[in-house]
Amino acid sequence: MAQRTLARYLTEEHRNKGRIPADLKFLIEVVSRACQAISIAIGKGGLGGVLGEAGSDNVQGEAQKKLDVLSNEILLEANEWGGHLAAMASEEMDLPHLVPNRFPKGEYLLTFDPLDGSSNIDVNVSIGTIFSVLKSPEGADLSTAAAAEQAFLQPGTAQVAAGYAVYGPTTLLVLTVGDGVAVFTLDREQGQFILTQEHVQIPADTKEFAINMSNQRFWETPVKRYVDEMVAGKTGPLGKDYNMRWVASMVADVHRIMTRGGIFMYPMDSKMQAQGGKLRLMYEANPMAFLVEQAGGAATTGRERILDIVPDRLHQRVPVILGSRNEVDRVTGYHGN
């Protein structure tokens, strides 16, 4: 059977299922091209001069790596000319980026974490790009970057597409347009993403958890209890032995869960309380929660469903607990929900 490229998958979603309009199909293809360009830059590593610090800080107060900045630029440049977007927002930019006046404007908003897993760049471990697509509300004020922030403040349930690229031993694009989750593998010779898995399903049960254990003393009681119970193993209250994995690139940790199940937690902790958590709602938690739910999993903060949160600011942070449904339900239950 002929290979199904990303373009063909999107065309079928558009033509046969009427799920996505032509301009959303185009938008996703453009994002996928940008991810290919980022993948090529990453592949050059030290030979391409892309490793190391950029020498600047982002709005999160993090030191930017060269690849954080480069990936952000690649995504902006790829997406601003096509006429499908009204504005873009990113982890690496204080304010939204408006489509310049020389280009036509479209009806979509794109948010992204251009390079996820920055701490893994220089050690040659998997990193990624995460993106989310919203519709710009009717009559939204896009006259200035500051005014445009308001248009983005929609709950995750309003997302029309979300995905991530993971730059690992192979480069993959994992996508949802609200019709399940599909995985595409980059064929480097063809320069195309080829469909390699459809209808991804996260098993409801798991014996594998992902959390940064060095934060244990900062966690709230419900998460402490849950992790203690998992670590207690077969003779503990959960009655099974668990394994632990923590890559520290959300894309890689979530991709493992997409592949074989598991639970990922970056829960509320006392260090991060003032900021609301570690991970960012609009371009990390929401797209991942959409993907995970589309694959039959669950995603909460411990207290509420991530996709139901109505954001009050672009760079809002939230606690994240996601993955295999029965485990997410258990720890969410421990929070009293």
Give the position of tokens 């929660």. 289
Type of residue found at 141: D
Q: How far is the CB of 117 from ligand AHG (least distance, A)?
A: 5
Considering the complex, state which of residue 115 and residue 134 has its C-beta at the smaller distance from Mn ion: 115
Contact 99, 86 (CB under 8 A): yes
Report which of 322, 329, 307 is spatially closest to residue 202, judged by C-alpha positions. Answer: 322
Q: How far apart are CA 256 and CA 316, in angstroms?
A: 26
Q: How far apart are CA 32 and CA 195, in angstroms?
A: 13
- Contacts of Mn ion in 60-99 (CB under 5 A): 62, 91
From the list 47-55, 109-117, 159-167, 303-311, the region that binds ligand AHG by CB under 6 A is 109-117
Among 13, 113, 208, 293, binds ligand AHG (CB under 6 A): 113
Q: How far is the CB of 238 from Mn ion (least distance, A)?
A: 30
Give the position of tokens 């590593």. 45
Considering the complex, state which of residue 80 and residue 91 has its C-beta at the smaller distance from Mn ion: 91
Considering the complex, state which of residue 7 and residue 54 has its C-beta at the smaller distance from Mn ion: 54
Q: Which two three-digit tokens encode residue 280?
A: 């960012």
Q: Which two three-digit tokens encode residue 192?
A: 């195309």
Among 116, 149, 208, 269, binds Mn ion (CB under 5 A): 116
CB neighbour class for 61 (10 Å; exposed up to 12, middle 13-18, buried from 19) = exposed
Query: Per the annotation, does 118 bind a ligand?
Result: yes
Kind and range of the H or E run holding 149: helix 145-152
- Contacts of Mn ion in 45-64 (CB under 5 A): 62
132 binds ligand AHG (CB under 6 A): no
Angle formed by the axes of helices 250-260 and 286-294, nearest 10°: 10
149 binds Mn ion (CB under 5 A): no
Among 249, 294, 301, 316, binds ligand AHG (CB under 6 A): 249
293 binds Mn ion (CB under 5 A): no
Considering the complex, state which of residue 67 and residue 142 has its C-beta at the smaller distance from ligand AHG: 67
Residues that bind ligand AHG (CB under 6 A): 62, 91, 113, 116-119, 212, 248-250, 266
